[in-house]
Amino acid sequence: MSSLLVDNIGELVTNGAGEGPLGIRRDAAVLVEEGRVVWVGPSAYAPAADRRLDAGGAAVLPGFVDSHAHLVFAGDRAAEFAARMAGEPYTGGGIRTTVGATRAATDDELRATVRRLRGEALRQGTTTMEIKSGYGLTVADEARSLRIAAESSTETTFLGAHVVPAEYADRPDDYVGLVCGPMLAAAAPYAKWVDVFCERGAFDVDHARAILACGQAAGLGVRIHANQLGPGGGVRLGVELDAASVDHCTHLSDADVDALAGTALSDGSGTRTVATLLPGAEFSTRSPYPDARRLLDAGVTVALATDCNPGSSYTSSMAFCVALAVREMRMTPAEAVWAATAGGARALRRDDIGVLTPGARADLVVLDAPSYLHLAYRPGVPLIRQVMRNGVTP
Ligand code: NIG
Ligand code: FE
């Protein structure tokens, strides 16, 4: 059994015991064995190890956990982005454009895109990335999307209910039947989660409830795209179904915030559902950002993710989302870094990632900076010096 000591860490973000909400330790070291953290402590008292990685006084933090990404697609929508920047609104209507391109692509073309984007994210410090289907929308195309996604992640999500495809436009009930029946059956072997785009123009609350319940019955965990483009019942539906996460949360009522904060539960036990905010989407659609402060002040657990997709948010950079959250959503740098690491882990119901404490996976990043603060303070600068996943430098 070979061990590795990462030492001479000027500032270690553990998200566990330590100073402040990030559990910071200074002049620290981390001992790794068989892909796991086995010891964390002062660098001066570090145990001997077979190999050593000298962090040179830099900051080390848990690898980013990107809990929301749509990587299985073909083509891009750069022209749609340019039109938006010239004043066109975002409606989600472009999803069907990507569906057409995705259906026409070969398996190898889709695989190459997933690998390219997964590699791009990894180099930027993302050690866990959820990957959704949702641009196939036939039984065969959703199944192959998830088969390809599962080659790159264990966190795979069936999003057959992304939009109603054109061929079902005048019979959405039939499409919901397809999603709950043969499509779910074909997709479930490759999926861990089920998701629905619950929004005007996509799926209403009744359809979303039916699809999520079928997915749950097939053994999948629940997540939901909710309240992105306007108000609606999606967030409350997610809480009702004990979704791991409700994602976007841009247009929230007091009742939505209460439901997420758990105050609507009579026994006051609270909800486990995380609110995942996706500021890359508001950036790329030039929309008002979600009110993160309102959620945090109400005690809601907040995660940050990229929403990486060719339409509303074509970024794979968690550091960019951290910077947006701090500058545009008034999160503190500490809140944003927690949300992009431990928060993402909560949104995936994982306790082995997003933290650097004994027993956790050795997924970490060494920054080219003395503090996590620099992620927001130096936006757009490539600050990830080294990435380790499962104790190995990829
Ligand atoms: O999460 N909102 C729905 N789905 C994606 C956007 C998909 C697209 O525009 O292609 C999202 O933002
Ligand atoms: Fe999304």
One domain, residues 128 and 153: yes
Three-class secondary structure assignment of 300-352: CCEEECCCEECCCECCCCHHHHHHHHHHHHCCCHHHHHHHHCHHHHHHCCCCC
CATH number reported for the structural domain that contains residue 80 in this entry: 3.20.20.140
Is residue 267 situated within a structural domain?
Answer: yes
- Give the pLDDT score at 179: 98
One domain, residues 68 and 57: no
50 is in an annotated binding site: no
One domain, residues 185 and 325: yes
- Name the residue range of residue 175's domain: 64-348
Please give the Cα distance from 161 to 152 (Å, whole number).
22
Is residue 96 situated within a structural domain?
Answer: yes
Q: How many whole angstroms from 133 Cα to the centroid of ligand 2?
A: 10
Is residue 158 situated within a structural domain?
Answer: yes
* ipTM exceeds 0.90: yes
One domain, residues 68 and 36: no
Residues comprising the chain, all counted? 394
- Give the pLDDT score at 267: 67
One domain, residues 206 and 257: yes
- CB atoms < 10 A from the CB of 209, how many? 18
Is residue 393 situated within a structural domain?
Answer: no
CATH number reported for the structural domain that contains residue 362 in this entry: 2.30.40.10
Identify the bridge partners of residue 126 per DSSP, sorted by sequence position. Answer: 64
One domain, residues 9 and 86: no
Convert the pLDDT of each residue in 54-63 to its tens digit.
999 999 999 9
Residues within 6 Å of ligand 1 by CB: 92, 94-95, 98, 197, 225, 228, 281, 307, 309-313
One domain, residues 45 and 131: no
Q: How many whole angstroms from 39 Cα to the centroid of ligand 1?
A: 41
First-to-last alpha carbon distance for the chain, in angstroms, is 19
Is residue 181 situated within a structural domain?
Answer: yes
Q: Ligand 1, atom 6: nearest CA belongs to which residue?
A: 312
Which candidate, 291, 244, 234, 299, places its Cα nearest to that of 269? 299
E strand or H helix at 26: strand 24-33
Is residue 361 situated within a structural domain?
Answer: yes
One domain, residues 232 and 195: yes
- Give the pLDDT score at 394: 81
One domain, residues 330 and 228: yes
- Give the pLDDT score at 223: 98
One domain, residues 180 and 292: yes
307 is in an annotated binding site: yes
- Give the pLDDT score at 1: 73
One domain, residues 322 and 257: yes
One domain, residues 277 and 331: yes
* Number of domains present in the structure of the chain: 2
Which candidate, 163, 129, 164, places its Cα nearest to that of 149? 129
- Give the pLDDT score at 266: 64
Question: What is the rounded radius of gyration, in angstroms, for the C-alpha atoms of the chain?
Answer: 21
Bridging pattern class, strands 24-33 and 3-13: antiparallel
Q: How many whole angstroms from 38 Cα to the centroid of ligand 1?
A: 40
The ligand that comes nearest to the alpha carbon of residue 92 is 1
- Give the pLDDT score at 99: 98
Determine if the pTM surpasses 0.80. yes
- Give the pLDDT score at 94: 95
Is residue 209 situated within a structural domain?
Answer: yes
Is residue 394 situated within a structural domain?
Answer: no
Q: Enumerate residue ranges in the chain where pLDDT < 70.
A: 264-269
Cβ neighbors of 79 (< 8 A, separation 6 or more) are none
Please give the Cα distance from 183 to 139 (Å, whole number).
5
